[in-house]
Amino acid sequence: MQIDPLKLCFRILKVILVSITAVLLTYSVVFSIAGTILIYKGYQLAVTPIKKVQLLKDSNPEESLFMSRYRQQLSTQGLSDSLFQIFIPLDSISPHLKNAVIAAEDDGFYTHPGVDLEAIAQASEYNKSQGQFKRGASTLTQQVAKNFFLGGEKSFKRKAKELCFALLMEHYLGKERILELYLNYAQWGKNIFGCEAASQHYFKKSASELNRNEAARLAAVLAMPSKLTPFHKTNFMGKRLAVIANNLYMHKQIDDQGFFGLTGSLPPRKDTLQINNKEKEKVVPVENRTSF
């Protein structure tokens, strides 16, 4: 039987075209499904954090994620896991304490969008020089985000999540609510959380009644809450009080007399003050950056 070469070529081309079409249709279905999954996952990644943040707008959780982990650690060690915490509205907290905490933990709190890019750049250079992740340059907002939503591990992935949560918190909660959450859930000693519990424990008075000196000493504890008390008279405590006094003085929240009351010395010249302020992160340990 004589085979027509032209017809054979057309048949082969037809088979090839049908095969290619089938493959393309198969891949289009696969890509369509994959695309749908990716879109859904992206939606979940975006919406879940937003929902978590929005829940904090009007509700005051019994404890933060960090507090829960802290209790578990105490229980594992066979220690009492009872935590002392009393929630107090922001407008009932002493202005001295609000100012001192911001001066101690995040001097640019009211000017940044939740993250401090300059501090992050400085921390990045420091970590690079150390060859490991040691300093996180967390703003007050980031500290709240970390302790409500994230684990305690140190990694760049967790840091990226922290930045995202911080930006969302600034947008949905605002500065005053973030400060209120910080002051009420920060660790201020062994088993002590929140400024009201800390004030009652250390000074036998409400956080609404704290004077400037008491507030500054309480704010200084935040750097090392498991090791410091407001009554420590160490070189480190002196440095923390100096940082707080410097920042309060720069923002004209205290005068020369107030500065002397906190540090026992007169304020330095303005140019020296600014240099000290830029160097302050170099004397702050990282312990509290893994909690509040």
Domains of the chain by residue range: 56-290
- Nearest of 90, 94, 70 to residue 81 by alpha carbon: 70
pLDDT mean across residues, the chain: 81
Where residue 78 falls (left for φ over 0; alpha for ψ -120 to 50; beta otherwise) is left
Mean pLDDT of all residues in 39-68? 78
pLDDT band at 265 (very low <50, low <70, confident <90, very high): confident
Superfamily of domain 56-290: Biosynthetic peptidoglycan transglycosylase-like (1.10.3810.10)
Q: Measured at the alpha carbon of residue 228, what is the angle toward residues 222 and 81, in degrees to the nearest 5?
A: 80
DSSP string, the chain: ----HHHHHHHHHHHHHHHHHHHHHHHHHHHHHHHHHHHHHHHHHHHHHHHHHHHTTT---SS-HHHHHHHHHHHHTT-----EE----GGGS-HHHHHHHHHHH-TTTTTSSSS-HHHHHHHHHHHHHHTS-------HHHHHHHHHHS-S---HHHHHHHHHHHHHHHHHT-HHHHHHHHHHHSEEETTEESHHHHHHHHHSS-GGG--HHHHHHHHHHTTSTTT--TT--SHHHHHHHHHHHHHHHHTTSS-HHHHHHHHSS----HHHHHHHHHHGGGG--SGGGG--
Mean pLDDT of all residues in 92-105? 97
Per-residue pLDDT at 170: 95
**pLDDT tens, position by position, 203-249:** 999 999 999 999 999 999 999 999 999 999 899 999 999 999 999 99
Whether the predicted model's global pTM rises above the 0.85 cut: no
**pLDDT tens, position by position, 1-47:** 554 544 555 565 565 556 666 656 655 655 554 444 444 444 444 56
Mean pLDDT of all residues in 249-267? 90
Mean pLDDT of all residues in 119-130? 68
Per-residue pLDDT at 28: 61
**pLDDT tens, position by position, 156-196:** 788 888 889 999 999 999 999 999 999 999 999 999 999 99
Per-residue pLDDT at 12: 55
**pLDDT tens, position by position, 76-90:** 998 988 999 999 999
| Residue 259 scores a pLDDT above 70 | yes
| Residue 140 scores a pLDDT above 80 | yes
CA torsion through residues 25, 29, 30, 32, sign: positive
Per-residue pLDDT at 197: 98
Per-residue pLDDT at 273: 53
